[in-house]
């Protein structure tokens, strides 16, 4: 179902008020985690003003340490919904479990399946059955073929609304958090009709690299970006070093706008 051989035309996926796919470059931005009501609303207004179409924010956080902030869960989803009502932004949140998915679908325009759950086949099947548009991130050590098979799990349950997200893979390199596989974009384009976006934040882990990698993503033909933005990156409960300030996100948008067909 996701194979280009049988579906030669590239798909454009409708999510909320947005379209994602060729000709519709989509910007998703927001904090790694929803930390509280006010920081989320402040970020929502800032990214909306800069021109984003989606607010991202984690309510269920897949943290490396069980002692790190785990997310506000349903309370966070309620704040996201309020932010959507206040700004008109579409909202995307990650679901890390079947229980989280069941709750998230009541609030979000798009659900994210994160890198760590790319091969959680039960979660993929449930996301397929739920019918909600899915952003499927590439697994930490997944091949492109494994990634497309994960998408097939969702599609095979009757849900064609899938967008892929390259977010860097594990290599021997330690200068960046992960190694962005930028060639994944043309490879996916040749193998699948599904849209593919890039997450420069988790790919690099370093704020200073977000802008050049975002420009490279646009140049290579990605259908959008998902970027972490925080009102005070130094105070962030997660992923501060890779989060942009509002001013930096404004600047990034100004740099991209002349070249991106933003929908």
Contact pick of 22, 51, 62, 131 for ligand PEP (by CB under 6 A): 62
H-only helix segments in 1-112: 37-50, 74-87, 98-104
Compute the least distance from the CB of residue 115 to Mn ion, in Å: 10
Site for ligand PEP in 187-206 (CB under 6 A): 199, 202
Q: What DSSP character marks residue 234? A: G
Closest CB to ligand PEP among residues 9, 243? 243
Q: Does 115 bind ligand PEP (CB under 6 A)?
A: yes
Residues in the chain: 263
Compute the least distance from the CB of residue 23 to ligand PEP, in Å: 25
CB-based contacts of 212: which residues, under 8 Å, 6+ apart?
none
**Which of the stretches 29-37, 113-121, 126-134, 153-161 binds Mn ion when contact is defined by CB under 5 A?**
29-37
Q: What is the rounded radius of gyration, in angstroms, for the C-alpha atoms of the chain?
A: 17
- Residue 49: strand pairing partners: none
Site for ligand PEP in 87-106 (CB under 6 A): 94
Closest CB to ligand PEP among residues 23, 80? 80
Measuring CA to CA, which residue among 223, 195, 193 is closest to residue 6?
193
Q: Does 77 bind ligand PEP (CB under 6 A)?
A: no
């Amino acid at each position: 179902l996701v194979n280009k051989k049988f579906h030669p035309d590239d798909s454009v996926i409708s999510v909320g008020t947005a379209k994602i796919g060729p000709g519709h470059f989509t910007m998703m931005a927001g904090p790694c985690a929803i930390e509280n009501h006010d920081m989320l609303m402040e970020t929502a207004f800032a990214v909306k003003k800069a021109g984003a179409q989606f607010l991202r924010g984690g309510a269920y956080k897949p943290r490396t340490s069980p002692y790190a902030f785990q997310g506000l869960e349903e309370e966070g989803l309620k704040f996201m919904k309020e932010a959507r009502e206040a700004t008109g932004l579409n909202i995307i949140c990650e679901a890390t479990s079947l229980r989280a998915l069941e709750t998230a679908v009541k609030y979000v325009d798009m659900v994210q399946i994160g890198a760590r759950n790319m091969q959680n086949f039960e979660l993929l099947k449930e996301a397929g059955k739920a019918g909600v548009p899915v952003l499927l991130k590439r697994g930490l050590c997944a091949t492109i073929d494994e990634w497309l098979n994960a998408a097939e799990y969702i599609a095979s349950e009757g849900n064609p609304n899938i967008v892929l997200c390259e977010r860097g893979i594990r290599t021997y390199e330690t200068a960046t958090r992960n190694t962005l596989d930028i060639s994944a974009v043309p490879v996916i384009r040749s193998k699948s009709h599904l849209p593919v976006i890039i997450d420069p934040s988790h790919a690099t882990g370093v704020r200073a690299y977000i802008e050049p990698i975002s420009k490279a993503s646009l140049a290579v033909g990605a259908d959008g970006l998902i970027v972490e933005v925080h009102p005070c990156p130094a105070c962030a409960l997660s992923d501060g070093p890779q989060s942009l300030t509002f001013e930096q996100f404004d600047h990034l948008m100004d740099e991209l706008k002349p070249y991106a067909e933003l929908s």
